[in-house]
Structure 1
Amino acid sequence: MDIILNNLCDEYGKYKINSKEKKTIIKKIKITLNEWRDYSSAWKDIKDNDDGGAKLDMYTSLTKDKNYICNFLERGSTVFGSSKPGFSNNYMIYRVNNDNNEYKNLNNETLDTKRAKSYFKDNVEVIFNKIFERNFISDTDNTINKEEIEMLYEKYSAHQILTKAILLEIYLNTLTNDNNSITEDLINKKEIPYPLIGIYKDEVLDKWVEIFRDYNNDNNVLNYTCQKSNFIATKFWGLIKGNNADLPENPTIYDLWCMTETLWNWNTKISFDDDNKNIILYGAPGTGKTYEVDKFLKVNGIAKDCFTKVQFHPNYTYEDFIDGLRPCGVTDSGQIKFDLVNGIFKDFCIKAKNNKDKNFYFIVDEINRANLNSVLGETLSILETPYRDKLNDKDNINNTNLIETTNSKLASNLINEGVDLKDKQYKVTEIGTDNKTYKVLFGIPDNIYFIGMMNDVDKSIDTFDLALRRRFRWINYTCDYEVINQEIFYFLCEIGKDKAEEMASQYVTNCQNLNTYIEKELGLGTSYQFGHSFFLKITKINTANTNLKNAQIKLFDEYLKPTLNCTPECGHG
């Protein structure tokens, strides 16, 4: 745990000192906060006797300019992280048709304008009144009122969106409590008494809560997203402060942005428990599987001698993996000499067994390209966690989870004939007392974690038999459009493009359309879609939409046409 948190602080420091990116980020933070303050002011300027129509139009719309609150919180404020409603009806009410003013509510009921206004006024307006009036912020210390926060989360369904609105109001309250303007200097220097990080997914927050709980022995009850966010921000800042006594009591908005980026980028889907030590990451090429494994190793501070990587291919065999006879020279009579040689996994298991106080990670890239049943052989039966060799189990004295492999008898015979092979075996047991007869056994120690990676394009999960499938936990990776949006946005800001957010959003839409075309129009499914790493290879996007379209055509020609065996006449160009 200490390794993870120390690495986390080091990574935070890298974000903090990146002055080139800092200027871009602080400028965007200033623009976003001013835009939100405009929404807040406009909302409060609407008279209380309004029938709900003005605020409803401000809340949800289908207009081309997209200037409405729901869109802003979901798409227009991504510098403070990505927040999603889950489903549109979690907004409580949303417009589905401009021509005849149709709306849908939380229960997916269709409402006309009159009923929509009434429903909005009773169920949504009251919530955003409290948000914009900042009723949830304590007057005494600028922290939050627990009862008010609980009421908001109980009554509003889009919790990620709600947390983003709370975060923005807390920031505005701190920066503008003296009616001063929002300046870049304030963003960089003004402390936030109730800090929140810009992560809104509960599954990600829960992971970091657990990590900081273990480190701090803090078991406070955290029911709502903003409580988890504050807990993480407070504990993380305390950790950062522990390494630098000169830091202020609370972080600034820019500090919180750096903390958010660090936590988000160091979040990983890879996790193990005592019941599951085998996982496979699968998905289309370019969706970040290798990156995720490398990140997992780095985040957890896993030393180089505690993991090994291997790439499977169609000619990979049991002999490469466990053991087998290999030519090792020529005898005096000119015949080829063979030795029993260990494969990479057998050697790795012996190494892990001899270092039982450490964890070891065996990583296989393109695991589906080999014939797994043939490569694993009988060792498949002991790969499953309950059948591992329990190194620290004192009761495991009868080798109950050890087996004879294909070449165990050969190894036993060689040892019994005096060949020096004992040190190269997982376990050698003595079965004869008088003539020193030995038996060779193999096991997979319980301190090994097995990580496989595969592209669906090469071979789908369906090609694995049930015996193989049930021994792994499968984690799917898809194109991450949030990553594309963020990276392209920052790149456009760096090169000084106007309307960077709008251009990045349009580019993401084009990427989604292309993948949808591949999946549905071409009928290839999700396995043949492009991953986000392919879309991020486009760096010359500084000329607007025409160039974006041309870049996507180039991607199509380079990566997809070979799969489809296309010719200029095929109609897919």
Structure 2
Amino acid sequence: MTNQSKVQFDKENFIKLWKEFDYEVDESELTKVIKEWGKYKEKIKNGLFGLDDYTSLKNNDNPSLPDNLEKNDNPKGYLCNFIERHTDCFGSSRPGNANQFMVKANAPDEEKPNQKPYYVAYVKEKNQDKKIAEKYFKEKILPILQIITNSKKLSKENIEKLEKDKYQAKQILRKMLVLEHPTDLIHIYKDETINALYKEFELEHTTTNLEKNRAILKFIKDINVKEEKVIFPTDTKEQICKLSTFLWRYANAKSIVDDDSPNIILYGPPGT
């Protein structure tokens, strides 16, 4: 990539690309995921959401784990598994590794027969028994989840709490926030992609990923206002899903554009 900074945002071409963008949203899949999320949400809101609902080896669809583990009542298993593996229609969200969930169940390891059953990021000795894991889950993680589920509006105060918390799997928190407010945010979670769009649109005065996300969506809506017609529909979760896929592909295509090859071609599968 050469001289990328010289390639300025071209609104007319951006609109042209959007009008040519052909992408079919699976509405039934979005609705299904929102319904599944609701099962976890109600337990979190009511204070009935426990450690085994958050992290477990039950019903885990990780192929590296034994296939004879006890099954969980929820068909998608524990929350971290559900968000990471069963919500891709709202964009891909992946932690760097499972330890970034801050508290997680350790898989059986024949080479470590004395390993304690849980990893707890909040303490110096990371491997702990269930009592310690439950303590830190209730004190550190559950309150963060309740910020997401108990807030009717997407407030700046709550955004700051989520982004500033020590919880490391930020993409997962952002995904949960999207499931709770699917038309208030772009369905993109990765810092690099959000930052690329933020820079491309020459936006200013916000710092966190979620604040930038909202600024990007506002920028798109403002194009509708300035053009005095709805070019980018943003009223429904299906419309935001299509827009998010377009923006992700645009950001990734833009990253390989230079002065010698200025034409943007949208390519690749949906993702973040």
Shift of 1:73: 1.6
Aligned pair partner of 1:167 in 169, 178, 183: 178
Task: Check if 1:103 corresponds to 2:114.
Answer: no
Aligned amino acid, residue 170 of structure 2 = H
Q: Determine which structure has more spread, i.e. the larger CA radius of gyration.
A: 1
Task: Pick the aligned partner of 1:9 from 6, 9, 15.
Answer: 15
| Larger relative strand fraction | 1
Deviations 1:130-169 (A, max 9, x none): 21112xx5xxxx4x32222212222222111111111111
CA contact (8 A) 1:8 1:262 kept: no
State which of 84, 87, 93 in structure 1 corresponds to 2:94.
84
**Aligned mates of 2:139, 2:247 — CA distance in 1:** 38
Secondary structure of 2:85 counterpart: helix
Q: How does 1:104-143 map to 2 (within 5 A)?
A: 104-106=119-121, 109-134=126-151, 137=152, 142=153
Residue 527 of structure 1 is matched in structure 2 by: none
The C-alpha deviation readout for 1:33-83, integer Å capped at 9, x for no partner, is 111111111333444xxxxxx511111112235511112221211111111
Cα distance in 1 between the residues matched to 2:132 and 2:192: 36
Deviations 1:543-564 (A, max 9, x none): xxxxxxxxxxxxxxxxxxxxxx
**Is the 8 Å Cα contact of residues 237 and 251 (structure 1) preserved in structure 2?**
no
Q: 1:252 to 1:242 in 2, by over 3 A?
A: farther
Structure 1 SS opposite 2:77: coil
Q: Give the Å deviation of 1:246.
A: 4.8
Tell me the equivalent position of 1:147. 157
Q: Does 1:206 align with 2:195?
A: yes
TM-score normalised by L of structure 2: 0.76
Query: Does the aligned pair in 2 maintain the 1:9–1:240 contact within 8 Å?
Result: no
State whether residues 106 and 119 of structure 2, in contact with CA within 8 Å, keep that contact through their aligned partners in structure 1.
Answer: yes
Identity of aligned residues (%): 27
Partners of 2:187 and 2:129 in 1: how far apart?
36
Separation in 1 of the partners of 2:141 and 2:20?
41
Q: Aligned to 2:78, which of 51, 68, 80?
A: 68
For the Cα contact (< 8 Å) 2:55–2:105, is it kept in 1?
yes
Gaps of 5+ in 2: 1-6, 61-75, 110-114
Q: Which has the higher contact order (CA 8 A, sep 6+)?
A: 2
Which whole-Å CA distance do the structure 2 matches of 1:26 and 1:6 have between them?
29
* Alignment deviations for residues 407-441 of structure 1 (CA, whole Å, 9 cap, x no partner): xxxxxxxxxxxxxxxxxxxxxxxxxxxxxxxxxxx
Residues 515-544 of structure 1, C-alpha deviations (whole Å, 9 max, x = no match): xxxxxxxxxxxxxxxxxxxxxxxxxxxxxx
Work out whether 1:158 is the aligned partner of 2:169.
yes
What is the alpha-carbon distance in structure 1 between the residues aligned to residue 221 and residue 8 of structure 2? 15
CA distance in 2, matches of 1:230, 1:6: 22
On the 8 A contact 1:103/1:112 being kept in 2, the answer is yes
Q: CA RMSD in A?
A: 3.1
Matched, 1:197 2:186: yes
In 2: Cα distance, 1:262 partner to 1:63 partner: 36
**Counterpart position of 1:372:** none
> Which whole-Å CA distance do the structure 2 matches of 1:27 and 1:88 have between them?
29
Shift, 1:250, TM fit: 5.2
Q: Is 2:204 the counterpart of 1:219?
A: yes
Structure-to-structure mapping, 1:161-310, within 5 angstroms: 161-171=172-182, 192=183, 195-213=184-202, 218-220=203-205, 222-243=206-227, 245-246=229-230, 251-268=235-252, 269-270=255-256, 297-299=262-264
User: 1:85 & 1:125 partners in 2: Cα distance?
Assistant: 18
Give SS of 1:40's match: helix
Rounded Cα–Cα distance in structure 2 between residues aligned with 1:7 and 1:246: 16
Q: Give the Cα separation in 1 of the matches to 2:16 and 2:44.
A: 42
| Residue of structure 1 equivalent to 2:35 | 34
1:168-567 pair list within 5 angstroms: 168-171=179-182, 192=183, 195-213=184-202, 218-220=203-205, 222-243=206-227, 245-246=229-230, 251-268=235-252, 269-270=255-256, 297-299=262-264, 483=269
